[in-house]
Structure 1
Amino acid sequence: MAQINVDVNGRPYAVGCEDGQEPHLVELARIFDQQVRQISQDMGQLGDTRLFLMGALLLADELYDARNRLEGLQAEVTRLENERSRIEGRAVSALEAAATRIERLGAADAV
């Protein structure tokens, strides 16, 4: 298990993670740090616990919104896939009907 130091609101924190996940964890800490610093600017200096709670709640709100958007997009993809299948079915039927008509025309000309 790897251990790295990340800075949040100007303070270092030692954090453990799986080997190879260090860059990902650094990026997550950077995002969290941005949230905490923004809250600190907007609301003034609060205790770390309150800053971290507010930062976590804002990130949870963003995650909630992103999940809702994802669900909507997944529903739209499903709807479009169903529509595509329906259109493909109609196209196949139209081609089969055209092929049948062509065969009949060819048979009529052969007579």
Structure 2
Amino acid sequence: MAEVDFTIGHKDYTVACQEGEERLLKRAAGMLDAEAQQILGQAGRMPEPRLLLLAGLMLADRTSALEDRAVAAERELARLKANPARVEVPVVPQGVADALADLAARAEALAQKAEDSLKQG
């Protein structure tokens, strides 16, 4: 069994965990310590049980808000999948496409004439 050392607030801890879970435990402890540091920065030193309780409650509040956002995003995704927005692509009538191609050819021919006359002049 592995052991992980970390600090939360103003106290050092060592906790045993399964092999391979060290990174997750350190990350969780880091999150709890960040909350504890905010509390200590605002309220100063306080008893360890109260500090851990307040830090845990702050994390639980943040987690609850994230869960609410995830549920709302999942609902929106389900709604979009059920009723996908229709995208209509306009179709250019063949006569208009032919006329535009003719105009483009004429413009290219005029440009070529202008270029040729500049080269000669």
- TM bin, normalised by shorter chain, reads 0.7 to 0.9
The whole-number CA distance in structure 2 between the counterparts of 1:29 and 1:23 is: 10
Alignment of 1:12-91 (within 5 A): 12-84=12-84, 87=86
Residue 6 (1) aligns with residue 6 (2): yes
The residue type paired with residue 36 of structure 2 is V
Return 5+ residue gaps in structure 1 as ranges: 88-111
- How big is the shift at 1:10? 3.4
- How big is the shift at 1:67? 0.5
Give the root-mean-square deviation of aligned CA atoms: 1.6
Larger radius of gyration: 2
The whole-number CA distance in structure 2 between the counterparts of 1:32 and 1:10 is: 12
The residue type paired with residue 71 of structure 1 is V
Contact 2:9-2:51 within 8 A present in 1 as well: no
Indicate the SS of the match to 2:83.
Answer: helix
- How big is the shift at 1:11? 2.1
Number of residue pairs aligned between Structure 1 and Structure 2: 87
The whole-number CA distance in structure 1 between the counterparts of 2:76 and 2:52 is: 36
The whole-number CA distance in structure 1 between the counterparts of 2:35 and 2:60 is: 11
TM-score by length of structure 2 reads 0.67
Instruction: Name the residue aligned to 2:109.
Output: none
TM-score by length of structure 1 reads 0.72
The whole-number CA distance in structure 2 between the counterparts of 1:54 and 1:80 is: 39
The whole-number CA distance in structure 1 between the counterparts of 2:78 and 2:48 is: 44
The whole-number CA distance in structure 2 between the counterparts of 1:22 and 1:37 is: 22
For residues 13-66 of structure 1, what are the alpha-carbon distances to aligned partners after superposition, in whole Å with 9 as ceiling and x for unaligned? 111222101011111111111100110111121101101000000000001000
